[in-house]
Amino acid sequence: MDGGEKIAGGSPQAACRFCKAPLSKTFVDLGMSPLCQTHIEPHELNHMERFYPLHAWVCEACWLVQLEEYVSPDQIFSDYAYFSSYSDSWVEHARRYAEKMIDKLGLGGQSLVMEIASNDGYLLQHFKARGVPCRGIEPAANVAEAAVAKGIPTTVKFFGCQTAKEVAREFGQPNLLLGNNVLAHVPDINDFVGGMKILLNQGGVITMEFPHLLKLMDENQFDTIYHEHFSYLSFGTVEKIFAHHGLRLFDVEQIPTHGGSLRIYGCHMDDATHPTQPAAVALRNLEIERGLQNLAEYQKFEARVKDTKRRLLRFLVEAREQGKSVVGYGAPGKGNTLLNYCGIRTDFLDYTVDRSPHKQGRYTPGTHIPILDPSRIRETKPDYVLILPWNLAKEITTQCSFIREWGGKFVVPIPAVRVLD
């Protein structure tokens, strides 16, 4: 059924995770999909796999776009295979951020920086290198171990009000509290933001980065919707959530990561040392102008997603009919949504490659496309390389520019399928 009139079916969790209003309006329904990080090992190929609905709703009261919590975070994040350090451009982004914040906030040996979801220490290592004390908070024990090996002290816990109290008591309150690409990943967003209020020092600054919902809608980035991402965030909605917990967004930057993200700056509500900047007011107004407080705008999205799917499949069918070989590059979470929603298996992609040794030798969830070492591309000389992490297209086309030696071409699937020259 089209038109976003699907009913939540009486599910007990079908209430907005922030404001608790009932959810009844569809943003987009992407069918059934397995968890994006459950890469299949060879001995599991004949096993059954769990598929969960990938159905995003929009709350008409606060405009939070969200998935229901089909799977608990323990199942998703405790053995997370994503090591941030495997992406060069991501590590470089982190380095520039650290330099900027050290200058902007005048951080030094007396300061304290804490990062929530600090992964393998890819970001905090840049503060440590400049002599700024830091601490990570990270739920996945295996990636936290990699951080500790780099000399980054790390608390292995999910973040929320309870963890905030414990960390504040034991290690003090940070002058800079940051969390990149984590706000969308928390099922209990109130417990999480409430925890930041507790942990942040007086006069301290919070920064968070998350993909901007407006970009997702503008550029058909439906593949960024997967079970690990519970929420899809606009500036206006995050501002409401922060205000509810006594925090104020005083500034914002629009940055290019993940196809278009926001970096928000927050402080305690009554902190006069951080006056609200014009950029925050301007973005709030832009989102209103663009219809983000209007249900009809959200309901236009699903038709564009279906069109994007048809175009991609048309390209793949034609390439195969012409006898061309097509392989993938990358095995990111977004690739899983794209492959499962579009029904792309080894009938279209011979294999995909990934630099992470944790993924090599395994298979993509649901679609069972083998994940190989990137050197395989040189051996098999494919006609087309479909870039699944399209947000890293520039890095990948540079690293693999050698495919042009045999006339190979790169293809990106989003916002609409396009062969790169």
How far apart (Å, rounded) are the C-alpha atoms in residues 51 and 72? 14
Closest distance of CB 104 from Zn ion, Å: 33
**Residue 392 C-beta: closest distance to Zn ion, Å:** 32
The set of long-range contacts for 157-162, using a CB threshold of 8 Å and a minimum separation of 24, is 158/73, 158/77, 159/116, 159/117, 159/186, 159/192, 159/195, 160/188, 160/191, 160/192, 160/194, 160/195, 161/191, 161/194, 161/195, 161/198, 162/195
Report how many residues bind Zn ion under the rule CB under 5 A.
Answer: 8
| Region of 14-22, 71-79, 117-125, 350-358 interacting with Zn ion (CB under 5 A) | 14-22
Which one of 14, 19, 148, 198 is in contact with Zn ion (CB under 5 A)?
Answer: 19
CB of 237 to Zn ion, least distance (A): 8
Q: Which amino acid is at 37?
A: Q
Shortest Cβ distance from residue 61 to Zn ion (Å)? 5
Least spacing, CB of residue 227 vs Zn ion, in Å: 20
Considering the complex, state which of residue 59 and residue 411 has its C-beta at the smaller distance from Zn ion: 59
Answer whether 268's CB lies under 8 Å from 200's CB.
yes
| Comparison of 16 and 331: residue with beta carbon closer to Zn ion | 16
Q: Which is nearer to Zn ion, 274 or 284 (CB)?
A: 284
Identify whether the C-beta of residue 280 lies closer than 8 Å to the C-beta of residue 250. yes
Radius of gyration (C-alpha) of the chain in whole angstroms: 21
Which lies closer to Zn ion via its Cβ, residue 207 or residue 299?
299
State the nearest-atom distance from the C-beta of 190 to Zn ion, in Å: 11
Burial of 405 (0-12, 13-18, 19+ CB in 10 A): exposed
Residue type, 36: C
Question: d(Cα 365, Cα 214) in Å, to the nearest integer?
Answer: 28
| Of residues 65 and 217, the one with the C-beta less far from Zn ion | 65
Find the shortest distance in angstroms from Cβ 26 to Zn ion. 15
> Residue 22 or 246: which CB sits closer to Zn ion?
22
CA pair distance 124, 143, nearest whole angstrom: 14
Q: Does 16 bind Zn ion (CB under 5 A)?
A: yes
- Given a contact cutoff of 8 angstroms between Cβ atoms, the answer to whether 385 and 354 are in contact is no
Give the DSSP H or E segment for 329: strand 326-329
Both tokens of 401, joined, read: 């520019």
Q: What type of residue sits at position 258?
A: H
CB nearer to Zn ion: give 75 or 294: 294
Binders of Zn ion in range 36-95 (CB under 5 A): 59, 61-62, 64
Residue 152 tokens, joined: 């980054």
Closer to Zn ion at the Cβ: 18 or 265?
18
Q: How far is the CB of 59 from Zn ion (least distance, A)?
A: 3
Rule CB under 5 A: which residues touch Zn ion?
16, 18-19, 21, 59, 61-62, 64
